[in-house]
């Protein structure tokens, strides 16, 4: 079901006293207010999406929490990637004490996107208005520097501060090996070693999250994202994969993107574990800077060197001389190729859409002509 016409004053807006929310704790600010004033729906209610379901959204507003659907205009008038995601600020009209219809989304910023897996190159918005991106890896089997680089490049595209959070530091691991493989990244990203069994490591991380700041947690399934969020919030706000000692049950893998409040301090967004996190950032300069190879790229003979097989390529020479890690170099090529592939297919798609809409216009003008 969807709605197109604003249902003004049909339902008395009942304020639910028990669920009044102070939105400034959720990051509401002057800029967002200004943006709301520019919307034709400025007289409606605003709120932030806390959970994204398949066809509806949980929205937190000053008047309480609502489950909302989209208007038909929003469903049919936008690309999937422009549909609301967790963390978005939206304008909606309550139609009941706990139901509403979303009419507009305030301009997105600092959004974590990923390349959707599948044949068609499609971006997916995971979380928006994000200040920090916690790249979570567990120190048992999950540590993988190539995956860290992958997340970092994607976060850089939207100016989200990357933070590396290791979990399960109570388990056996070789800290020297970990630190050595992070040499080229260490000065670009804060690193935390945490364990649910060492409360001071959780406390340090909690202090790092500031009031009103939004943090998204990303990483493979089972690394302990939901467990860590529960510890930071000092309560079981999310289901985790741990076995409950009381029931012996509790296998639960996260399936939705959900926002929770950490005390009255920060806003934490949990996400399901993703096997391969595809990138869409095709900015080669950012990539070479992040991977710490820009000191070599500057010395290449040709300005437009692609660092693949060109004569006088300082990057290839650095790999041959052992100055640049081969793994870093190969991941650089891989990430760049992936992002190129994405942007080329987006470009192609736009071209097809443009020629299609041109054809539709022409048909409307001259319905009997053959095109």
Ligand X SMILES: Nc1nc2c(ncn2[C@@H]2O[C@H](COP(=O)(O)OP(=O)(O)OP(=O)(O)O)[C@@H](O)[C@H]2O)c(=O)[nH]1
Give the footprint of ligand X on this chain (CB under 6 A).
167-168, 170-171, 195-197, 221-227, 240-242, 253-254, 272-273
Distance CA 310, CA 127 (A): 40
Q: If binding is defined by CB under 5 A, does position 315 make contact with Zn ion?
A: yes
CB of 235 to ligand X, least distance (A): 14
Q: If binding is defined by CB under 5 A, does position 49 make contact with Zn ion?
A: no
Distance CA 254, CA 260 (A): 14
Q: Which of 56, 95, 178, 305 forms a contact with Zn ion (CB under 5 A)?
A: 305
- H-helix or E-strand spanning residue 354: helix 326-365
Partner interacting with residue 307 (select from Zn ion, Mg ion, ligand X, none; CB below 5-8 Å by kind): Zn ion
275 phi and psi angles, rounded to 5 deg? -65, -60
Distance CA 59, CA 91 (A): 10
CB of 141 to ligand X, least distance (A): 12
Q: If binding is defined by CB under 5 A, does position 300 make contact with Zn ion?
A: yes
Partner interacting with residue 227 (select from Zn ion, Mg ion, ligand X, none; CB below 5-8 Å by kind): ligand X
Partner interacting with residue 168 (select from Mg ion, Zn ion, ligand X, none; CB below 5-8 Å by kind): ligand X
Partner interacting with residue 98 (select from Zn ion, Mg ion, ligand X, none; CB below 5-8 Å by kind): none
Q: With contacts defined by CB under 5 A, how many residues of the chain interact with Zn ion? A: 5
Q: Which of 59, 91, 290, 313 forms a contact with Zn ion (CB under 5 A)?
A: 313
Task: CB nearer to ligand X: give 50 or 167.
Answer: 167
First to last CA, the chain: 37
Distance CA 235, CA 364 (A): 60
Q: Do the beta carbons of residue 71 and residue 3 sit within 8 Å?
A: yes
Task: CB nearer to Zn ion: give 156 or 313.
Answer: 313
Closest by CA position to 343, among listed 113, 146, 145, 110:
113
Q: If binding is defined by CB under 5 A, does position 218 make contact with Mg ion?
A: no
Of 107-115, 145-153, 246-254, 295-303, the segment contacting Zn ion by CB under 5 A is: 295-303
Q: Tell the burial category of 6 from Cβ atoms under 10 Å away from its Cβ (0-12, 13-18, 19+).
A: middle
Of 78-86, 203-211, 220-228, 339-347, the segment contacting Mg ion by CB under 5 A is: 220-228
Q: Which of 61, 226, 280, 297 forms a contact with Mg ion (CB under 5 A)?
A: 226
- Please enumerate in sequence order all residues whose Cβ is within 8 A of that of 29, keeping only pairs 6 or more positions apart, or say none: 212
- Please enumerate in sequence order all residues whose Cβ is within 8 A of that of 186, keeping only pairs 6 or more positions apart, or say none: 179
CB of 224 to ligand X, least distance (A): 3
Distance CA 231, CA 161 (A): 22
CB of 346 to ligand X, least distance (A): 28
Distance CA 55, CA 68 (A): 9
- Please enumerate in sequence order all residues whose Cβ is within 8 A of that of 106, keeping only pairs 6 or more positions apart, or say none: 32, 35, 36, 39, 46, 88, 89, 90, 91
Q: If binding is defined by CB under 5 A, does position 126 make contact with Zn ion?
A: no
Q: Which residues bind Zn ion (CB under 5 A)?
A: 300, 305, 307, 313, 315
Q: Which residues bind Mg ion (CB under 5 A)?
A: 225-226, 254
């Amino acid at each position: 079901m969807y709605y197109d016409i604003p249902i003004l004053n049909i339902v008395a807006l009942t304020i639910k006293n028990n669920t009044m929310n102070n939105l400034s704790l959720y990051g509401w600010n002057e800029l967002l207010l200004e943006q709301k004033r520019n919307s034709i729906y400025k007289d409606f209610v605003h709120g932030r999406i806390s959970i994204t379901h398949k066809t509806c959204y949980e929205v937190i507003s000053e008047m309480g929490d609502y489950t909302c659907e989209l208007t038909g205009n929003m469903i049919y008038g936008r690309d999937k990637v422009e549909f609301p995601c967790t963390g978005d600020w939206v304008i909606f009209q309550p139609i009941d004490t706990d139901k509403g219809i979303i009419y507009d989304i305030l301009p997105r910023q600092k959004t974590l996107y990923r390349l959707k897996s599948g044949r068609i190159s499609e971006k997916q918005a995971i979380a928006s208005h994000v200040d920090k991106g916690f790249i979570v890896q567990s120190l048992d089997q999950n540590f993988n520097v190539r995956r860290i680089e992958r997340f970092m490049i994607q976060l850089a595209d939207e100016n989200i501060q990357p933070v590396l959070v290791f979990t399960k530091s109570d388990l056996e691991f070789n800290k020297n090996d970990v630190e050595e493989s992070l040499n080229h990244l260490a000065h670009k990203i804060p690193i935390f070693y945490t364990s649910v069994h060492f409360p001071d490591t959780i406390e340090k991380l909690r202090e790092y999250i500031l009031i009103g700041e939004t943090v998204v947690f990303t990483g493979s399934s089972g690394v302990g994202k939901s467990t860590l969020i529960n510890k930071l919030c000092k309560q079981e706000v999310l289901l985790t994969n741990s076995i409950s000692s009381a029931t012996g049950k509790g296998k639960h893998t996260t399936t939705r993107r959900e926002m929770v409040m950490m005390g009255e301090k920060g806003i934490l967004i949990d996400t399901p574990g993703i096997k391969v996190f595809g990138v869409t950032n095709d900015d080669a300069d950012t990539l070479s800077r992040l991977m710490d190879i820009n000191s070599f790229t500057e010395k290449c003979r040709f300005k437009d060197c692609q660092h693949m097989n060109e004569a006088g390529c300082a990057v290839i020479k650095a790999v041959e001389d052992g100055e640049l890690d081969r793994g870093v170099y190969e991941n650089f090529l891989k990430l760049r190729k992936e992002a190129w592939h994405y942007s080329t297919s987006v470009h192609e798609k736009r071209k097809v859409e443009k020629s299609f809409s041109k054809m539709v216009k022409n048909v409307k003008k001259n319905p009997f002509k053959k095109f």
